[in-house]
Amino acid sequence: MVDIPWKKRKLIARLIDPDHAGEETLVTAVRLADEAGVDIFMAGGSLTSVPVTDVIRKLKQLSSIPVVLFPGNLTQLTAGADAIFLLSLISGRNPELLIGSHVIAAPLLKNMRERVIPVGYMLIDCGGGTSVEYMSQTSPIPSGKNDIAVATALAGEMLGMKAIYLEGGSGAARPVNPSMIKAVSDELTIPVITGGGIDSAEKVEVAFGAGADMVVIGNGCEKNPELIKGACRVRDSYNRDTFII
């Protein structure tokens, strides 16, 4: 069981896509994450050919940073992670991703229920089609529709979700609009996670400044592994200025 320090400070999560995590890449990513002080590893992806469980095992061997399973589908369910994001795709209207998969997963998850974190997962249009849009067969919330995003996130909070994830999609052309992050985080009492297309320290700063509690970076660090250091520096300066730590 991992106690994620939501709301106590801003957090950086490094998303590891199992298909892009060969031995050498993973060792380097872990070393840089340890040096930078990454808060959380997330492991998973929309479509993976390498078992997520293998990547989680390696992450646990190499580092003491908590690992959160970020399952793209039911085949990725595994017991090895410190926590599991149980995602409901509340921006969409695909019943399988709102409840169907959860029913199938429940008997497998019941023995690790204390590690399950229900997350309202919201796909936001950030330019260009994304894998999650196609794989989920759902439409994203249009970029400028903050009112729809706020209403959806509020519904997620009132349904009992423990966090809301504003997702631009891996490798999105641009991150989630900061005005939407602000509109949503202003209305919620639960943490706001955002990710997708965050490929610079400046974009991390914009997301935190808008109210994100946790910023997720995957692709950006695959292209530029040193980005994680800049991202964590931004987090640290933000935390110094905002929280007593």
Shortest distance, position 107 Cβ to ligand 1GP, whole Å: 26
Regarding 90 and contact with ligand 1GP (CB under 6 A), the answer is no
Distance CA 23, CA 125 (A): 33
Residue 108: left if φ>0, alpha if ψ -120 to 50, beta else—which one?
A: alpha
Residue window 13-42: x/- pattern of binding to ligand 1GP, with contact defined by CB under 6 A: --x---------------------------
| Stretch near ligand 1GP under the rule CB under 6 A, chosen from 75-83, 177-185, 191-199, 204-212 | 191-199
Number of residues forming the site for ligand 1GP (CB under 6 A) = 14
Q: Is 189 buried (19+), middle (13-18) or exposed (0-12) by CB count in 10 A?
A: exposed
Q: Which of 218, 227, 228, 235 binds ligand 1GP (CB under 6 A)?
A: 218
Tell whether residue 197 is a contact of ligand 1GP (CB under 6 A): yes
* Interaction of residue 204 with ligand 1GP, rule CB under 6 A: no
Instruction: Show Cβ contacts of residue 166 under 8 Å, excluding neighbours closer than 6 positions.
Output: 122, 124, 149, 153, 176, 180, 181, 184, 192, 193, 194, 195, 212
Minimum CB separation of residue 6 from ligand 1GP in Å reads 17
- The tokens 């530029």 sit on which residue? 224
Segment interacting with ligand 1GP (CB under 6 A) among 74-82, 111-119, 141-149, 167-175 = 167-175
Q: Is the dihedral of CA 24, 41, 136, 148 positive or negative?
A: negative
Rounded to 5 degrees, φ, ψ at 63 are: -150, 160
What residues make contact with ligand 1GP under the rule CB under 6 A? 15, 167, 170-172, 195-198, 216-220
